[in-house]
Amino acid sequence: MMRAGAHLRTTGIWRKAIRFGSDRRGIAAVEFALIMPILLIMYFVTMEASQAIETSKKVSRIGSMVADLVTQQTSVAKADIDAIMAIGAVTLQPYNRSAPSITVTAIQVTSDATPLVQVAWSRKLVNGVASAGPTATTVPATLKVAGTFLIRVDSTLGYTPVISWSPGSQQKLGLTTAFNNINMSETYYLRPRRSAAVTCTDC
């Protein structure tokens, strides 16, 4: 036979359970705790996408700007080309999580019956260090016109999202390594503005 005290304790527990189940005072906090991670993910994805799009536009702008500055010259030296490429790299600011690579190639299309593509001179900037560029290149068929001179500028960037970036060489964890390097690139061709060719005095 159940004692009266035990019965009262059982009844009290059930009443507390029922009261707890019907209490709605903390429902907003619980909903917020469930929704907040999703909202944060959406915010960072939107922010990262907008930054990536803007940076991609700047990578394209590097190619057009560098090509425009070079083709306005009649003659250049290695120091001139290196300075122009350095100016182009600065246009990425305030993005600074990785450095762009820029290659300027002067192309002479020969006047042969079957025109050949020859590299007159070339310079490149990689991780802020300038050096000699490639000795061979190609041009689209539509630009392969006999006797013409072209300036080709290749600009590339391994875009590093904020979520996967860390200062120095600290270890990256989780899924961020999959998005550590998003390749962005652009190629521009322009003809000289003030002369038939742009020569380099010491390339």
pLDDT of 3 > 60? The answer is no
User: Which of 83-97, 126-140, 170-184 has the weakest average pLDDT?
Assistant: 170-184
pLDDT category of residue 175 using cuts at 50, 70 and 90? very low
Task: Provide the pLDDT for residue 19.
Answer: 64
- pLDDT higher than 90, residue 62: yes
pLDDT at residue 173 is higher than 60: no
Angstrom CA distances, 37 to 32, 53, 165, 175, stand at 9, 24, 20, 16
With a pLDDT cut of 70, the percent of the chain lying above it is 77
Terminus-to-terminus CA distance in the chain, angstroms? 106
The set of residues, in sequence order, having a beta carbon less than 8 Å from that of 136 and lying 6+ positions away, is: 119
- DSSP code of residue 197: -
Mean pLDDT value across residues 165-184: 59
Confidence bin at 157 (pLDDT 50/70/90): very high
Band of the pLDDT at 2, cuts 50, 70, 90? Answer: very low
Banded model confidence at residue 13, pLDDT cuts 50, 70, 90: low
- Rounded CA-CA distance 139/109 in Å is 9
| Mean pLDDT of all residues in 90-103 | 90
Task: Report which of 125, 131, 43, 54 is spatially closest to residue 94, judged by C-alpha positions.
Answer: 54
Q: What's the rounded Cα separation, in Å, for the pair 55 and 73? A: 28
| Reported confidence tier of residue 161, pLDDT bands at 50, 70, 90 | confident
Tell which wins on pLDDT, 152 or 28. 152
